[in-house]
Structure 1
Amino acid sequence: MLSERWYKTQYTIDDISKDLCEKWQSASNESLHFPERNDMIASDFSLRAVEGAPKDEPRLLKDDELCRLWYKPDNVFEMPKVNSFAHIRSSAAYSSPESSVLTNLWVQILQEHCNDFTYLASMANLHCSFVNARTGVIINVSGYNHKINVLMGRIVKAIIALPDKLEQDLFERIRDKTAKSYHNFLFSQPYQHAFYGGEQCFDPMVWSIDDKKIALAELTMSDLVDFHKRLLSRFHLEMLVHGNCSPDEATMLASTLVDGLKPSKLFASNRPQTRVVALKEKVSYVHRMPGFNEEDTNSCIANIYQMGAIDIRKNAVLALINHLIKEPAFNELRTEEQLGYIVHTSIQIFGNDIKNLLILIQSDSFDPIYLDGRVEAFLDRFRSKISKMTEEEWQTNIDAVTALLREKNKNLAEESTRYWQVISNGAYFFQKLKLVANEVETLKVTEVLRVFDRYFSKESSKRKKLSVQVFSKNVAEKINETIVVKESGIEDDTVLIMLEDVVDFKREMPLFPLPKKKDVKAMMMQNEEGSTQ
């Protein structure tokens, strides 16, 4: 008997008998086996060198009736990784409340089916996710570039096999999960309900939570199978491949999707479009809604001042005003007046290019009508604050905004996301932030005040305002209160929109025109001879 040195544990050492070794070697049990070989583990970490590619925007590799492929090599961070975004654009994804819910279910079920291989992929530092969007489905794939096409191939196989692998138990589980998410939204914060109310007023094709709940309750598994066929029968793929890959490898990644799913051409007249309600000038629209959660004592107001589709110069002014307004809004409305715990200002975008200034307050002490008056009074004081700025204060703020707009990407993912945002809105204006920064540098106080007076001052004949007001139970009696000029501080004509009136309101309102179609031919990638790929 031997004894371990430190803890004196006794043990023995014996040879393993020959019979026991033979028994082990001949053992057989079908339930015991090695795990499958992980074919997604990268072994090639070499960096691809692509000559002549710009460092600050992608180029177009392919543009036909089925696919538009954007590509940018990683010539900044030089990492052996790639990020890919693939947008399956289809009008079937959001043509009705039923199709909106079915897209949601389809994405969640696809994610469940892909769990069979996503663990292996994550062990190889490869990742994928799926997003249901207004205009279709977005597939995100990222990680080491060597085997990323293997992962994409598995995703395509999972998409094709989805109807055959679909089981009733899984369908019921995902449907129940979705129903709970719709129900839980009603118990979220009032400021989230205010955002929802704004979207309901500005988007002529958005479906309400109530519509989705009714549609979900009526859907069956056969509906999802039929929807799968409609979604993938006709679509247009728009894709960005950014990272350590050659143009041929990027094209191969796109071909894996297009050749695997084999879609038909999407009709030009049937491509998904996002329109936005155009508010009338010198009219204040007030959308009042009761709080969805009766136990929540917080009310909320979200004042949205619509500017519309604006040029680079006005984008620069809006960026500066957004920067200037944050600190005084928080200091005066929250700290000094103590109107509510949440005070928020930001630039809000509806559709692809309709810009708005948002001022939001959530309060458990004051009703939205009173809050609206305080916001208007604050805007008057804010204008005075701008007009009295010293040259030094003005330049300090100019420098802060330009520094933010020119801030460099911190990593490959941040750079990819910035490009994808520009691609997603259809503008393909990759140099916009730089141009806006250049314009900000030349702004003067008088010009900013002119823009402020036109779009945000209650004295303006051009102002367009929507006030979304969420009333909690303890101030619910004021929801039908007549809007009085003295009480609200509003001097414009006023249109009151109650929750049940939203659909009729949008039916009667004009819409902003869609942005002009961008000619992207000049953005095709050039080969070494100077011709397009």
Structure 2
Amino acid sequence: MEPSSRLERFTDIIKSPTDHRDYAMVTLSNGLRCTLVHDPEAHQSTAALAVAAGHFQDPLENQGLAHFLEHMLFLGTEKYPEATAYQDFIHQHGGHHNAWTGTEYSSYYCSVDAPSFAEALDRFSRFFYQPTFNPEWIAKEVNAIESEFQLKRKDELRRLYQVHKVTANPAHPFSKFSVGNFNTLTNKGDTTGLDQHMRSYFSTWYRANRMTLVLAGPQSLDELETLAIACFQSIPGNGATVTPEQAPLYLPEQTGIQLHVRPLKDARRLILAFALPSIDKDYPYKTTSFIAHLLGYEGPGSLYAELHHANLINSLAAGGGISGSNFKDFNLNMQLTEYGLQHTDRIIAEVLAAIDRIKHEGLEDWRYKERQVAIANAFRFQEPARTADLAPQLAINMHHYQPHDLIFGDYRMDQLNVSKARELLDCMRADNLRATLIHRQVEVDQHEPIYGTDYQVRPFTEAQLEFWQSAEVSAIQLPGPNPYLHPLRPPQALSEPVSRDPRQHQLADGLTLWHLQDPDFRAPKAHIYCQFTLPNVTASATHYASARLWCELMIDRLNEDCYDAEIAGLHFNIYPQHYGITLHISGYSQGIVELSRDLLERLQTTRFSESRFADIKQKLYVNWQSALANKPLNLLFARLNVLLQPHMYALSDLAEALAQITRSGFDDWQQQLFAEVELKLFAHGDLTQETLRPLTECAQQTFSMQANLQANMPATRDLAELKSSGKLETRGQLLTRHTDHAAMLVIQGSDTSVLQQTCMLLLNQFIQPHLFNELRTRQQLGYLVGSTYMPIEQRPHLLMYVQSSNSKAPELCKAIEAFRKHFLQQFDERIHDELDQVKGHLIRKLREPDTNLRLRSQRLWSTISPTDVSFDRLEKMAQQLEVNTTSFFIKELAEILATTGHQGYITASPKEL
């Protein structure tokens, strides 16, 4: 019997015209709802399963149990009892896997090379009906949970989140500690009973009728349905019906309050959270999204603009906040200036007045229709996501949207729901507000014990309430008609012979245009990169600090004027790098050249107010000074770039330089910023060369350019020279303000040849799962263990790293070194078959076509940005893998691992106070 005749399929799923996939939904006899996705262009297949159970279902005596269960499911099933069997299989077949535990849902997903999908599903599906919960691993995974907890213990978002929990209704499951740790999962180290609690949780909540499954890949819908039946039919059904929570998120005394939270890092932030009812059923109207658009608008005269011009805030984001089956927090999140920190009541008065204005003047149909046009454009010309990324998202969507809205639900905007908008706006009042002020100097009187956060809770005073009622507020304007927003035309016809590589046009000395009118992604979208090679950016730490400040000031200055373009789908960014400064503009091709030309003209003419200069300089300085409290691994990656790339500077050096920069000195530097400039343009997408003419003419008229500035930049530093000079020893051992230790082994390729790059990439792909299994799973050295391949100016590097809360950096170095030596001993024909598999996967991966225009633009730009341009490098690497035998690579990889001259360790350790 054909699979399609066994189960009734639903195929009336709304999708974007740019989506080439086929979709169907089926429900298995056990109640498991499945979405099948046929993607003929995919090289890998993906499974994603979402279960309606998360930390809300944790028992009070075992908080974090759902998260612990997530870890344990990976460590063996009855058919495949070895703890690393699943992970080894996934990695050996070119895949990846992950999972997360949320409030009311948990998600599991994996991707593998398509021919291995059935075998992968045989392993993956058994998590959900045949886990062993091996007692041998229970204590080890408690340690892993503890390591994860310790890793994030100084994470500011988690600290704030936990304060949020302890100030919510204790009868609501949101108040439970979600991550879990040694104390919540054990009785002073005794794991007795944990096994039974876990099995009880699993058998109660992990039921087929509470699950959704997505199977996606190049297989036909019939094949995918057959796999769903064969692998997932055995999951028990008849679980409890999914029902909304009943207890309110907040008690009456928990709204109308001022919260003070003292962070570890310097911060000035005000979060205004209005408690709303659940918005799940409002998804066809997106009412909160519409209100967020009106409140978060940043154009002239807006709430943001008025607060910004009054030097009260640096940023404003509207509409975020936690949400669930019976609650939604509508947040306005603002970064304050020093002045704004002293005037939070005025800011709240302005916000409440803006909400009142929206209630009385903003609920107009034409405003909603503008949002409809913007969202319709986004859906109509949606850039295809990778199937591996799409599947987990669809598995969650199945829990929230009607079947036909599986994809479209995120974009659906039927009409302005005035009654719902008024209901929600009526909730956005002072007595329903939680105002959280985050700063190191706020008054506190309570201590949250899990993350150690100090905080205070106070009801709003009568004086505050009266002030917000009677305060004189700005004449805030609601958004006017958006001149950039209109239905988009189809892409332009191809004007040149079809090519997939950009063509170079030398327009003048020092001005190069690379152009590609994309033949594959036929949508009215484009990317324009403008790379300015500027010696006045890279000459010293002071110059580079000035450039970082200048970029922040430019974005700050231009955001308001360009906000309508941003809403209409045109975006820009300005950032410094070790050549100089890059301007990136992206979005719809209609208007992108005009916006790019306007931005180019402003680069040399824009000046900044004294107050914005002072405030953004202070913000940058605080960020750089507090960087030593960041995750040690992040610091090591940043430090490695500084060590290996000329004209890159440590954040501590930049902070010291920034402190010395005066306004007059900055103005003098700005006058000379473009005195020496070479400009490289890259235009890609729905753009003809003729369309670009106004931009290239503007560039020639605006800048006096010189040739070969980039060619004279120094090459990547040699690791052996850094070691012999002692710089690796002195500059590669960081003292941080984080409690964790970290170590990283850096292996530098001997040259920039394609063969050397291929060998290093292959070595990383091969060594990754072995490193993780040994140092993370078996030795439990730390939660963050891994390896990565990193080319710098085409010179390949392999990095192996560990971050640990319980082992010191020298011990981590010894562990990595012992692993390297032991692994090297295995390099003979015994590994032939495994390496051959990895090789085959890598060949397919190198030849994978670009998924969308954005990814292709990024890939091409990373090729064009350096001086050595080679568009076929990935294909040449694939050819190297094909023409050389596996035995040849065994010898080459062993030599790379054994040659210690181009290897070195960098470390991060807590600074002793």
Q: Please tell me the TM-score bracket, short chain as reference.
A: 0.7 to 0.9
Residues 279/80 of structure 1: CA separation in 2 closer, same or farther (3 Å cut):
closer
Residues 187/235 of structure 1: CA separation in 2 closer, same or farther (3 Å cut):
same
- 1:202 counterpart = 2:644: yes
Name the Cα RMSD after superposition: 2.8
Of 794, 799, 802, the match for 1:358? 799
Per-residue CA distance 1:376-428 (angstroms, 9 max, x = gap): 22123323444244654343212211121111111111111100000112221
Of 820, 836, 842, the match for 1:401? 842
Give, in angstroms, the shift of residue 251 of structure 1.
Answer: 3.4
Of 131, 156, 160, the match for 2:575? 131
Residues 371/255 of structure 1: CA separation in 2 closer, same or farther (3 Å cut):
same
Instruction: Using the TM superposition, name which of 123-132 and 370-379 deviates more.
Output: 370-379
Identity of aligned residues (%): 21
Which amino acid counterpart does residue 875 of structure 2 have in structure 1?
A: K
2:890, 2:625 → 1: CA distance? 45
Residues 145/283 of structure 1: CA separation in 2 closer, same or farther (3 Å cut):
closer
Of 807, 812, 819, the match for 1:378? 819
Residues 148/305 of structure 1: CA separation in 2 closer, same or farther (3 Å cut):
same
- Unaligned residue ranges in structure 1 (runs of 5+): 1-30, 477-533
Report what 1:23 is aligned to. Answer: none
Residues 304/404 of structure 1: CA separation in 2 closer, same or farther (3 Å cut):
same
Report what 1:441 is aligned to. Answer: 882
- 1:470 counterpart = 2:913: no
Query: 3-state SS of the aligned residue for 1:60?
Result: strand
Per-residue CA distance 1:62-82 (angstroms, 9 max, x = gap): 342131000000210100111
1:465, 1:77 → 2: CA distance? 42
Residues 394/454 of structure 1: CA separation in 2 closer, same or farther (3 Å cut):
closer
Kept in 2: contact 1:368–1:471 (CA 8 A) = yes
Query: 3-state SS of the aligned residue for 2:791?
Result: strand
2:752, 2:573 → 1: CA distance? 34
- Report matched runs for 1:318-329 at 5 Å: 318-329=760-771
Q: How many pairs are equivalent?
A: 437
- Unaligned residue ranges in structure 2 (runs of 5+): 1-474
Report what 2:718 is aligned to. Answer: 278
Of 419, 422, 447, the match for 2:860? 419
2:536, 2:721 → 1: CA distance? 35
1:415, 1:203 → 2: CA distance? 25
Report what 1:19 is aligned to. Answer: none
Report what 2:514 is aligned to. Answer: 70
Which amino acid counterpart does residue 602 of structure 2 have in structure 1?
A: A
Instruction: Using the TM superposition, name which of 43-52 and 398-407 deviates more.
Output: 43-52
Kept in 2: contact 1:287–1:466 (CA 8 A) = no
Per-residue CA distance 1:299-357 (angstroms, 9 max, x = gap): 1111111213232222222221111010000001111112222112112233x122221
1:197, 1:183 → 2: CA distance? 15
Of 727, 749, 755, the match for 1:313? 755
Instruction: Using the TM superposition, name which of 414-423 and 119-128 deviates more.
Output: 119-128
2:495, 2:610 → 1: CA distance? 53
Report what 2:677 is aligned to. Answer: 235
Kept in 2: contact 1:102–1:224 (CA 8 A) = yes
Which amino acid counterpart does residue 736 of structure 2 have in structure 1?
A: N
Report what 1:451 is aligned to. Answer: 892
Of 680, 687, 692, the match for 1:250? 692
Residues 440/127 of structure 1: CA separation in 2 closer, same or farther (3 Å cut):
same
Give, in angstroms, the shift of residue 290 of structure 1.
Answer: 6.1
- 1:178 counterpart = 2:616: no
Instruction: Using the TM superposition, name which of 34-43 and 369-378 deviates more.
Output: 34-43
Which amino acid counterpart does residue 857 of structure 2 have in structure 1?
A: S
Which amino acid counterpart does residue 346 of structure 1 have in structure 2?
A: T
Per-residue CA distance 1:15-46 (angstroms, 9 max, x = gap): xxxxxxxxxxxxxxxx8999776443456623
Which amino acid counterpart does residue 909 of structure 2 have in structure 1?
A: F
Report what 2:602 is aligned to. Answer: 158
Structure-1-length-normalised TM-score? 0.75
- 1:347 counterpart = 2:785: no
Residues 362/100 of structure 1: CA separation in 2 closer, same or farther (3 Å cut):
same
Kept in 2: contact 1:113–1:158 (CA 8 A) = no
Query: 3-state SS of the aligned residue for 1:417?
Result: helix
Give, in angstroms, the shift of residue 210 of structure 1.
Answer: 3.1
Residues 81/200 of structure 1: CA separation in 2 closer, same or farther (3 Å cut):
closer
Query: 3-state SS of the aligned residue for 1:413?
Result: helix
Kept in 2: contact 1:89–1:272 (CA 8 A) = no
Kept in 2: contact 1:279–1:306 (CA 8 A) = yes
Residues 239/293 of structure 1: CA separation in 2 closer, same or farther (3 Å cut):
same
Per-residue CA distance 1:155-176 (angstroms, 9 max, x = gap): 134324312xx11001011101
Report what 2:654 is aligned to. Answer: 212
Query: 3-state SS of the aligned residue for 2:673?
Result: helix
Kept in 2: contact 1:71–1:250 (CA 8 A) = no
Query: 3-state SS of the aligned residue for 1:176?
Result: helix
1:270, 1:408 → 2: CA distance? 30
1:395, 1:331 → 2: CA distance? 20
Instruction: Using the TM superposition, name which of 428-437 and 303-312 deviates more.
Output: 303-312
Instruction: Using the TM superposition, name which of 129-138 and 202-211 deviates more.
Output: 202-211
1:141, 1:219 → 2: CA distance? 30
- 1:266 counterpart = 2:709: no
Which amino acid counterpart does residue 427 of structure 1 have in structure 2?
A: D
Give, in angstroms, the shift of residue 186 of structure 1.
Answer: 1.2
- 1:104 counterpart = 2:548: yes
Query: 3-state SS of the aligned residue for 2:715?
Result: coil
Which amino acid counterpart does residue 146 of structure 1 have in structure 2?
A: Q
Which amino acid counterpart does residue 904 of structure 2 have in structure 1?
A: L
1:335, 1:52 → 2: CA distance? 54
1:473, 1:451 → 2: CA distance? 40
Kept in 1: contact 2:736–2:908 (CA 8 A) = no
Query: 3-state SS of the aligned residue for 1:175?
Result: helix
2:695, 2:753 → 1: CA distance? 36
Structure-2-length-normalised TM-score? 0.45
Per-residue CA distance 1:178-208 (angstroms, 9 max, x = gap): 1111012111111123224433433454333
Greater relative contact order (Cα < 8 A, sep 6+): 1
1:148, 1:200 → 2: CA distance? 34
Kept in 2: contact 1:302–1:468 (CA 8 A) = yes
1:211, 1:34 → 2: CA distance? 44
Residues 73/453 of structure 1: CA separation in 2 closer, same or farther (3 Å cut):
same
Which amino acid counterpart does residue 143 of structure 1 have in structure 2?
A: G
Which amino acid counterpart does residue 470 of structure 1 have in structure 2?
A: A
Residues 200/153 of structure 1: CA separation in 2 closer, same or farther (3 Å cut):
closer
Per-residue CA distance 1:108-152 (angstroms, 9 max, x = gap): 111111112221102321111111112111111112212112212
Residues 275/391 of structure 1: CA separation in 2 closer, same or farther (3 Å cut):
closer
Give, in angstroms, the shift of residue 433 of structure 1.
Answer: 0.6
Query: 3-state SS of the aligned residue for 2:881?
Result: helix
2:710, 2:826 → 1: CA distance? 49
Query: 3-state SS of the aligned residue for 2:904?
Result: strand
Instruction: Using the TM superposition, name which of 182-191 and 313-322 deviates more.
Output: 313-322
Report what 1:303 is aligned to. Answer: 745
Report what 2:871 is aligned to. Answer: 430
Residues 206/242 of structure 1: CA separation in 2 closer, same or farther (3 Å cut):
closer
Which amino acid counterpart does residue 856 of structure 2 have in structure 1?
A: E
Kept in 2: contact 1:152–1:256 (CA 8 A) = no
1:433, 1:388 → 2: CA distance? 27
Kept in 1: contact 2:678–2:707 (CA 8 A) = no
Report what 1:293 is aligned to. Answer: 736
Instruction: Using the TM superposition, name which of 49-58 and 171-180 deviates more.
Output: 49-58
